[in-house]
Structure 1
């Protein structure tokens, strides 16, 4: 089950420096919103605030109608670094999320094995993270995040460190997994092609404290089409500063 996310006049600061300034944005349940923009514009800071990993300085962030005041099992965070427990096998890393969700011990093995099959790592179930490739570790992290049945998934450049072939494979795995296990997603990336492939909407942030440069709707999400290529060009122009329009984000 997915949920809506509402951001109202959110301001986030690092010390005296404003990183995100009075941002308002509504993300409907089940939508994949991609956030991009130049380095230092506040993408990851915003993601951590939605996750409840850092306080908001002004305004509000609500998930499913409940104001975010800390972390919650309803929100899963997926990082660029896999963040797996190095002493736990693939199976035990995923089973941990099921335990936190309250799945009875007697049911965890079968459900864990289903997740391992979904991510294509049946032969590596008893391997430790150090024995896996980067792409494999990211598969485990994705499964662990979604196995907790979150209603919102927050992804901070999760495929940024992968080679091109592995990255493409992980993008397709994410699409398939979210089709089977729907959630509202906020996905941060620097890659415009990735943004258009995955997103229903793309928010292009300006430099720190300057707000939103443009919001681009993807006409046919997760489908290769001429209309999507036009959306890609629009997002790319905004990202490099070719579009100087500053738009107020609709509520």
Structure 2
């Protein structure tokens, strides 16, 4: 089950400096919304606010109409750094999410192994994170994030540190996994091609304190062979637009 997310007039500050100013967004249940923009524009800050990891300075954020006032297992974070517990094996990292979800102890081992098989890591259940490659660790983090059955998944450049081949593999794994385990997703990336591949819509933020520049719908999301060149061009144009440029289509 996924969730609607509603951002109404959200303002976020670091001290006296405004990072996000008066942002309005409606993210329907089951949508993958990609957020991109210039460095320092507040992408990660926005994600943490939606997760309930930091307070907002003005406006409101709601999940299915309920105010977001703190963290919830209904909203899972997946970071660029894998953030796995280094002393826990692959299985026990995933087991932690199942425990927090309330899965009975007698069922957790089998369910953890189902997730391990789903992410293509059969044979690695008893390995520690330090014994895995970067791509393998990200697979475990993805499984751990989704094993808790969150209604929203907030992903902060999760594939940014991976090589091109591994990144492509992880994008396809994410697509398959979300098809089997639907959730609302807010996905932060600097990569235009990744944004247009994964997102139903792409939000291009402005520089810190500026309005968002554009919201670009993607006609054929998660379809590698489809022609989404117009959407790609619109995202690229918004990213390179002069400071202060914004679209009247923001909604």
TM-score bucket (shorter structure): over 0.9
Corresponding residue number in structure 2 for 1:198? 198
Corresponding residue number in structure 1 for 2:104? 104
Aligned length: 251
Deviation at 1:227, TM superposition (A): 4.2
Q: CA RMSD in A?
A: 1.3
- What is the CA deviation profile of residues 47-88 of structure 1, one whole-angstrom value per residue up to 9, with x for unaligned ones? 000000000010000011110000000000000000000000
- What is the CA deviation profile of residues 2-49 of structure 1, one whole-angstrom value per residue up to 9, with x for unaligned ones? 010000000000000000000000000000000000000010000000
- What is the CA deviation profile of residues 203-226 of structure 1, one whole-angstrom value per residue up to 9, with x for unaligned ones? 000100101111100001111356
Corresponding residue number in structure 2 for 1:246? 246
Alignment map for 1:1-251 (pairs within 5 Å): 1-224=1-224, 227-241=227-241, 245-248=245-248, 250-251=250-251
- What is the CA deviation profile of residues 186-236 of structure 1, one whole-angstrom value per residue up to 9, with x for unaligned ones? 000000000000000000001001011111000011113564111001101
Report if aligned partners of 1:25, 1:249 keep a CA contact under 8 Å in 2: no
Report if aligned partners of 1:238, 1:244 keep a CA contact under 8 Å in 2: no
- What is the CA deviation profile of residues 146-174 of structure 1, one whole-angstrom value per residue up to 9, with x for unaligned ones? 00000000000000000000000000000
Question: Is the partner of 2:228 in helix, strand or coil?
Answer: helix
Deviation at 1:247, TM superposition (A): 2.0
Deviation at 1:185, TM superposition (A): 0.2
Report if aligned partners of 1:94, 1:147 keep a CA contact under 8 Å in 2: yes
Q: Distance in 2 between matches of 1:226 and 1:137?
A: 30
Structure 1 stretches lacking a partner, 5+ long: none
Q: Distance in 1 between matches of 2:75 and 2:102?
A: 15
Question: Is the partner of 2:69 in helix, strand or coil?
Answer: coil
Q: Distance in 1 between matches of 2:212 and 2:117?
A: 40
Query: What's the TM-score, normalizing by structure 1?
Result: 0.97
Question: Is the partner of 1:123 in helix, strand or coil?
Answer: coil
Report if aligned partners of 1:212, 1:248 keep a CA contact under 8 Å in 2: no
Question: Is the partner of 1:232 in helix, strand or coil?
Answer: helix
Question: Is the partner of 1:124 in helix, strand or coil?
Answer: coil
Structure 2 stretches lacking a partner, 5+ long: none
Deviation at 1:144, TM superposition (A): 0.1
Query: What's the TM-score, normalizing by structure 2?
Result: 0.97
Report if aligned partners of 1:34, 1:198 keep a CA contact under 8 Å in 2: yes
Question: Is the partner of 2:48 in helix, strand or coil?
Answer: helix
Question: Is the partner of 2:54 in helix, strand or coil?
Answer: coil
